[in-house]
Amino acid sequence: MDTRFFTTWIEGIAKAVAENREHLTALDAAIGDADHGANLDRGFTAVREALAAAPPDSPGKALTLTGTTLIRKVGGASGPLYGTAFRQMGSVLGSAPDVTPSDLATALEAAVAGVRKLGGATEGDKTLLDALAPAAGALRRAVQNGTKTEDALDAALTAAREGARATIPLQARKGRASYLGERSIGHEDPGAASTVLILAALRDAAGG
Amino acid sequence: MKKLINDPEHVVTEALAGMAEAHPGLRVDLENKVIFRRSAPSPGKVGLVSGGGSGHEPLHGGFVGYGMLDAACPGEVFTSPVPDQIIEATKGVDGGAGVLHIVKNYTGDVLNFEMAAELCAEEGVEVASVLVNDDVAVKDSLYTAGRRGTGATVFVEKIAGALAETGASLAEVAKTGEEVNARSRSFGVALSPCTVPAAGRPTFELGPSEVELGIGIHGEPGRTRAPIAPARELARVAMDAVHTDMPLSGDCLVMVNGMGGTPLAELYIVFAEVAAYLREKGATPARSLVGNYVTSLEMRGFSVTVCRLTDDLTRLWDAPVETPALRWGR
């Protein structure tokens, strides 16, 4: 996976976020403050511009620029959290021109660790971690089993989807939804939903 | 959606442009979205910076001026500011005595202010922060993000700001800010939801005879829904929640705050009930504020915030202040 693969991935995220802006905002209105779609759309629009203005020459640099731009432009909790996730991935991949599926699994694991440390959440708190952590785990297992890249990314996406769906019956313990107490039960976490979009774009970037 | 706007995407910057025109005592950096005192930085004085999502006006920009904040950074509507804004504000008000960040306890605000504070520290600006978390509607436990910062933010900004004007140190100003927060509690009630401009739809639906109890300030639903009741009963629900958490006694600073769309007369009706409640508990409404100070766009409803005063805090509350939204004694 080269730089082009990663910029395709990020372009795909920007497109998916724009298309799903209303959906993410509706999920957020139910248990939060109705800005998740608008914030991520603003952030990834800025990421697109940043990548066009200074085309990165390695996958790591593409991801670091994405993370830094999200931190600078999004605000809220999702800006620092997603920003940190991408920066952690960028930092793990360094300036290597090519990335193996195993490197990508390591990068996603670093993203999970970064989000967990910054936000203080664990799985089951009804946050984006509930989709991201299972995806990283599934990718690692698939890579260890020698699964080909497309199928490994499929497995990661499926795990993220299942994780996001599993947030519906959970009571939120972190973030703004936690203020609702039991009333947060019955709604999908918007952060988990946007993580699914990110992993779907990753799967699409691999083609096939 | 029916709003007095030009474009949902430009609400924050266009409102800032209006503030700049209306208040010559302020300097508004439209590019970085920071509202400064025109005279900032004040050499030798601790700088006070606050910020948070827009939609709570006059919080925070309306509290920039003598005796209160040195700068405010407004984020998008109901979205915390980004670190770049906070860094710009912090550097712009550093008069050599350090800068105090006043942060409302929301995950996004906390994360963005923390990131900014770290970067400022690397550049040699001394930063301390006070976390405001006065909302008793949220259970403060491991199972939530902790109590929200709401009405007490006004008290912290005013009282810490007054102390900073006296030339007190960063540690002293931070300590007093924390003391105000620790002695303050709030509870809010909504009669109608609000509509975030970029979302275009109300954040929740309320039937014609329903209210939300225990709301925050972001149009988020509260903890429970109840049938509408006379102001007397709604005020009692709010004050019971406050009193249960912090038994009321002595001189109190009391704010009955409108959420943006509440007639002032209704807020005074609530204030009469709140004052009666305090007296019933043996406490005194010694200082008061009635009006729209920490709003949720056009939401109808109120919040009540009570701070148990000390002589020092009373003196600092009474000290002169000159901002767009609070001014006396000068």
Helix (H) or strand (E) holding B159: helix B152-165
Residue B246 lies in a domain: yes
Reported confidence tier of residue A75, pLDDT bands at 50, 70, 90: confident
String of DSSP letters for chain A: --HHHHHHHHHHHHHHHHHTHHHHHHHHHHHS-S-HHHHHHHHHHHHHHHHHHS--SSHHHHHHHHHHHHHHHT-TTHHHHHHHHHHHHHHHHTT-S---HHHHHHHHHHHHHHHHHHH---TTSSSTHHHHHHHHHHHHHHHHTT--HHHHHHHHHHHHHHHHHTTTTPPP-SSGGGGGGGGGTTS--HHHHHHHHHHHHHHHHT--
Residue B167 lies in a domain: yes
Contact assignment for A76 to B80 by CB distance below 8 Å: yes
A178 versus A125: the higher-pLDDT residue is A125
Res B36: pLDDT:
98
A17 versus B146: the higher-pLDDT residue is A17
Enumerate domains of chain A plus CATH numbers.
3-205 (1.25.40.340)
* Catalytic pick among B56, B60, B101, B243: B56
- What does the pLDDT look like over A36-68, one tens digit per residue? 999 999 999 999 999 999 999 999 999 999 999
Q: Are residues B218 and B249 in the same domain?
A: yes
Is the pLDDT assigned to residue A185 strictly greater than 70? yes
Helix, strand or coil for residue B175? helix
Q: Are residues B81 and B173 in the same domain?
A: yes
Res B83: pLDDT:
93
Q: Are residues B241 and B120 in the same domain?
A: no
Q: Are residues B82 and B117 in the same domain?
A: yes
Residue B112 lies in a domain: yes
Q: Mean pLDDT, chain A, as a whole number?
A: 95
Write the CATH number for B288.
Answer: 3.30.1180.20
- What does the pLDDT look like over B91-112, one tens digit per residue? 999 999 999 999 999 989 999 9
| Entry pTM | 0.87
- What does the pLDDT look like over B66-94, one tens digit per residue? 999 999 999 999 989 999 999 999 999 99
Q: Tell me the average pLDDT across A156-173.
A: 96
Residue B43 lies in a domain: yes
Res A34: pLDDT:
82
Q: Are residues B46 and B163 in the same domain?
A: yes
Nearest chain A Cα distance for residue B213, angstroms: 11
Q: Are residues B151 and B240 in the same domain?
A: no
The tokens describing A206, both together, are: 């691999």
Contact assignment for B111 to A119 by CB distance below 8 Å: yes
Most confident of A74-83, B77-86, B104-113, B255-264: B255-264
Q: Are residues B45 and B152 in the same domain?
A: yes
**Number of structural domains found in chain B:** 2
Is the pLDDT assigned to residue B142 strictly greater than 70? no
Per CB-CB distance under 8 Å, the chain A contacts of B201 are 29, 34
Nearest chain A Cα distance for residue B139, angstroms: 8
Q: Are residues B25 and B104 in the same domain?
A: yes
Q: Are residues B41 and B115 in the same domain?
A: yes
Q: Tell me the average pLDDT across B312-322.
A: 98
Q: Tell me the average pLDDT across A3-7.
A: 97
The tokens describing B148, both together, are: 């929200």
Q: Compare all CA atoms of chain B with the CA of A72 and give the residue at the minimum distance.
A: B82
* Catalytic pick among B60, B101, B218, B243: B218
Q: Are residues B176 and B196 in the same domain?
A: no
Per CB-CB distance under 8 Å, the chain A contacts of B104 are none
Is the pLDDT assigned to residue B140 strictly greater than 80? no
Amino acid type, B88: E
Residue A74, chain B, CB below 8 Å: the answer is yes
Is the pLDDT assigned to residue A94 strictly greater than 90? yes
Q: Are residues B169 and B231 in the same domain?
A: no
Is B23 among the residues known to form the active site?
no
Residue B2 lies in a domain: no
Q: Are residues B235 and B216 in the same domain?
A: yes
- What does the pLDDT look like over B180-205, one tens digit per residue? 999 999 999 999 999 999 888 888 88
Nearest chain B Cα distance for residue A31, angstroms: 7
Q: Which domain holds residue B28?
A: 10-182+318-328
Sheet holding B71-77, edge to edge: B26-29, B34-37, B71-77, B47-54, B99-104, B127-132
Q: Whole-angstrom Cα distance, residue B40 to residue B69?
A: 10
Write the CATH number for B323.
Answer: 3.40.50.10440
Residue A101, chain B, CB below 8 Å: the answer is no
Residue B45 lies in a domain: yes
